[in-house]
C-alpha cells in the first residue's frame, strides 16, 4: 500500500507539472511550492509562452489561420505578440515547414506555400505579423479552402473570436469534402468562450477532423490556480480544479481528479490496516 501511494503521488506530481506547463503565463505563480506531504514538494516557476493562447503544436507541417476581422480589434495586439512567441518557441523548434494566413473580408497569406522553418523565415514571418490590422468580416470558409491547398499540409491552427460569416453547416460540409482527399487536422482556438454558438461550431470542427479545441484560461482562473497549486491536492477537502473549456486541460483535469480519488482511497485503506494491526494482540513465542 505504501508503494502504491508513493506511485500515485509521483503520478500527481507529473500531472501538476504538465498542468502548469499548459497554463504557462505571466500571472502564474512566480515561485511557490506545491505541498505533497510534510516533507515533499515540487517547485512551480512561471514560464510565459505561446501555449496558453495557442495550445501545443503537434504536427511538423502546419499553417496558422488568424482571424483579423473587426471584432478582433481589442485582442489583436496581444494575439500578435503571442503569435511571434509561437513562431520562435514552437514552430522554429518543432516544425519542418509552416505558413501564416490572416482572414477577414479577404485573405492575406504570408507565403504562397509552406516554407522551410529557418531563422530567416521566422524573422520574415515575425515582420509580417507586426503589420496585421483588424477590419471586416470573418471569412473562415475561404481561409480553410486556401489553407487546404497548401501541399504537404498536416495540421491547421484556426484562431478566431466568433462564428463564420457563412453557414456553420456549410463550413463543416466543405471541410468534410476536403478531408476526403487530404487527411489534415484542424485545431481550433476560441478567444470568446461566452459565445456558445461559436464555441459549439469550433468544437465540432476540431472533433470532426481529429483536431483539438482550445480556449485560453482567463486571468481570474489563472490567479485561482496559483493558490490551488500552492495549497495542494492531497487532502480530500482540498479545492477541486475549475472547469476548463479546452480539450487538453479538461482531459488532464479529469485525470487529476481520478488520481486524487485513488489516492484518498488508498490512504483510507492504509489507515484501516494500521488500526487493524494496532488492535491485534501481539503474540510472543517462548
pLDDT (tens, 9 = 90+) of the chain, 286 residues, equals 999 999 998 998 888 888 888 876 433 444 333 333 333 343 333 345 788 899 999 999 999 999 999 999 999 999 999 999 999 999 999 999 999 999 998 999 999 999 999 999 999 999 999 999 999 888 999 999 999 999 999 999 999 998 888 899 999 999 999 999 899 999 999 998 888 889 999 999 999 999 999 988 877 777 777 766 666 565 666 777 878 888 888 899 899 889 989 998 999 999 998 888 888 776 666 5
* pLDDT attached to residue 162: 84
Residue 42 host element (H or E): strand 40-45
Cα gap 79→84, rounded to integer Å: 9
* pLDDT attached to residue 123: 97
- What is the separation of C-alpha 130 from the centre of its chain, rounded to a whole number of angstroms? 24
pTM above 0.85, yes or no: no
* pLDDT attached to residue 17: 83
* pLDDT attached to residue 231: 60
Domain residue spans in the chain? 59-211
Residue 93 host element (H or E): helix 92-94
- Does residue 12 contact residue 260 with C-beta atoms inside 8 Å? yes
- CATH superfamily of the 59-211 domain: von Willebrand factor, type A domain (3.40.50.410)
* pLDDT attached to residue 27: 38
The grid coordinates listed for 149 are: 491547398
Q: Which residues contact 222 (CB under 8 A, 6 or more apart)?
A: 23, 25, 27, 28
Amino acid at each position: 500500500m505504501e508503494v502504491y501511494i508513493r506511485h500515485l503521488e509521483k503520478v500527481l506530481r507529473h500531472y501538476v507539472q504538465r498542468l502548469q506547463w499548459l497554463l504557462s503565463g505571466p500571472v502564474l505563480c512566480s515561485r511557490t511550492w506545491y505541498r505533497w506531504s510534510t516533507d515533499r514538494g515540487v517547485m512551480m516557476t512561471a514560464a510565459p509562452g505561446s501555449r496558453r493562447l495557442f495550445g501545443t503544436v503537434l504536427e511538423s507541417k502546419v499553417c496558422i489561420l488568424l482571424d483579423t476581422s473587426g471584432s478582433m480589434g481589442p485582442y489583436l495586439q496581444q494575439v500578435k505578440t503571442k503569435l511571434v512567441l509561437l513562431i520562435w518557441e514552437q514552430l522554429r523548434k518543432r516544425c519542418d515547414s509552416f505558413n501564416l494566413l490572416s482572414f477577414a473580408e479577404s485573405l492575406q497569406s504570408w507565403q504562397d506555400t509552406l516554407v522551410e522553418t529557418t531563422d530567416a523565415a521566422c524573422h520574415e514571418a515575425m515582420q509580417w505579423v507586426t503589420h496585421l490590422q483588424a477590419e471586416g468580416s470573418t471569412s473562415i470558409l475561404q481561409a480553410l479552402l486556401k489553407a487546404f491547398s497548401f501541399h504537404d499540409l498536416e495540421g491547421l491552427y484556426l484562431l478566431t473570436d466568433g462564428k463564420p460569416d457563412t453557414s456553420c453547416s456549410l463550413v463543416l460540409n466543405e471541410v468534410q469534402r476536403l478531408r476526403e482527399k487530404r487527411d489534415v487536422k484542424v485545431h481550433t482556438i476560441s478567444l470568446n468562450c461566452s459565445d456558445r454558438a461559436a464555441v459549439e461550431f469550433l468544437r465540432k470542427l476540431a472533433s470532426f477532423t481529429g483536431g483539438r479545441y482550445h480556449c485560453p484560461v482567463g486571468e481570474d482562473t489563472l490567479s485561482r490556480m496559483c493558490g490551488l497549486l500552492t495549497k495542494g491536492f492531497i487532502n480530500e477537502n482540498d479545492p477541486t480544479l475549475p472547469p476548463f473549456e479546452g480539450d487538453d486541460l479538461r482531459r488532464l483535469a479529469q485525470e487529476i481528479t481520478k488520481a486524487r480519488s485513488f489516492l484518498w482511497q488508498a490512504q483510507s485503506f492504509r489507515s484501516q490496516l494500521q488500526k487493524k494491526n494496532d488492535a491485534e494482540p501481539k503474540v510472543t513465542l517462548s
